[in-house]
Amino acid sequence: MSTELQDLAQLPVASEPSRYDPVEILCSLIALPSVNPNSHDLAGPEYHESRMTAWLGDFFESLDVPCLFQEVHPGRHNVIAQLMIPGATRTVLLDAHQDTVPVEGMIIPPFQPVIRNGRLYGRGACDVKGGMAAMLSAFAQLAEERPAGSANVLMACTVDEEYTATGAQCLADIWEQGSRSDLGLPVPDLCLVAEPTDLNVIVAHRGVVRWKICTAGRACHSSQPENGVNAIYKMARILDCLEDYARMLAKNVPHHPLCGGAALSVGRISGGISVNIVPDQCEIEIDRRLVPGETPSSAMQEIETYLRSRLDVDFEMAPPWVAMEALSDTHNSFWADELLQHIAHVTGPKQKQGALYGTNAGRYARQQIPSLIFGPGSISQAHTVDEWIEISQLSLARDVYARFCRGR
């Protein structure tokens, strides 16, 4: 592991970056490790989201804007700032996640921002600290100007997007059934989620549900396997059936014109404890990609029904550890058209697009909040070993966010 990862005291954290320069803000964010703790990549809470959370609280305090800390997991908090404009007729939620993917295998110092040839390098530069920096810069401008006619703006910096998106889920749940939350936050009219879109607008994306199927057997000495029940043999029959189901799924579920079709993959299998013991347990992990209109629960139920109707093998379906809703373009077209007008004014014409990956937008859309994804950077640079973002896109994204919230 590099020395940059071992000595946090050497990291160049700017204590007081310009509140309006997205490049300076991004440099400060990159210098704050915020690796998702579920990655098991770096030990110790100092590498996780807590320092980022504290920095964000100080940033919003410097703007004299109230913010809330919503605990999602012990020591892990969403930060939600509130900019309320007298007479505002709508509320916009800006969402950017605090966490990043692991840094193992990176070929650049992950927490030392470097500018070279018009690019800014570092873990999270593209996904999604660049988008967060642009949002924070726009938010700071709006907080200083308080322009008449502007929307109310909620700026949510959520945790855990890179693993199970529980931060966005926890925040979205406060608006269950369209009611004003017990945190006193108004229901947003629209949510803009920061992800690298090359300044295009993502209006639809696939969802995902991940869970385990387990089989049980009876252990015995491998010299007399007839005295036991082999859990791996049971699972082999399930795997054959799932392979058939995956082929059928690609044909039977209609493709979405923007984000493609449904898919199923078995990504992991484990079972047994020793080669000379008949295994009494086996489990697999399933990844099922959802198209708009499907739900995680219905997808799981369909697979269970399919397997039980074709096999006489006992198995258990474990609860999912990831259940991310797909984003449909059914209810966000009006907002997408308005956003595209502001983008065209700043950058020139851009497009509505779909995505194969999922985002926090699916969590908010589940609560009937129209949601869009927009931000600087290219998805091809997300999670890479030399992650970077084009600096020129940061100020363009900042200007689009600000124009959209102002309404002009």
3-state helix/strand/coil string of 243-257: HHHHHHHHHHCCCEC
CB 167 within 8 A of CB 158: yes
Backbone CA torsion sign across 332, 337, 342, 348: positive
Distance between CA atoms of 209 and 287, rounded to whole angstroms?
Answer: 6
**What confidence score (pLDDT) does residue 180 get?**
57
User: Of the candidates 34, 159, 171, which has an alpha carbon nearest to the alpha carbon of residue 26?
Assistant: 34
Rounded CA-CA distance 47/51 in Å is 8
What are 43-52's contacts with CB under 8 Å, separation 24+? Answer: 45/75, 46/8, 47/5, 48/75, 48/76, 48/99, 49/76, 49/77, 49/98, 49/99, 49/159, 50/75, 50/76, 52/98, 52/157
What phi and psi, each to the nearest 5 degrees, are found at residue 186?
Answer: -65, 155
E strands present in 166-317: 190-193, 201-205, 207-216, 263-271, 281-290, 316-317
Specify the pairing of strand 207-216 against strand 281-290.
antiparallel
Distance CA 340, CA 338 (A): 5
8 Å CB contact between 320 and 164 = no
DSSP label of 142: H
Residues in contact with 135: Cβ distance below 8 Å, sequence separation at least 6, in sequence order: 94, 96, 155, 194, 398, 401
Residues 6+ apart with CB under 8 A from 9: none
**DSSP secondary structure letter of residue 179:** P
* Mean pLDDT per 10-residue section of the chain, whose length is 408 residues: 33 54 96 90 82 96 96 96 95 98 96 96 98 98 94 98 95 78 85 98 97 98 97 98 95 94 97 97 98 96 98 97 95 96 97 96 95 98 98 98 94
Q: Are 31 and 14 in contact (CB under 8 A)?
A: yes
pTM score of the predicted model: 0.90
- What residue ranges define each of the domains in the chain, with the CATH number in brackets? 3-205+326-406 (3.40.630.10), 207-324 (3.30.70.360)
Determine how many CB atoms are found less than 10 A away from the CB of residue 182.
7
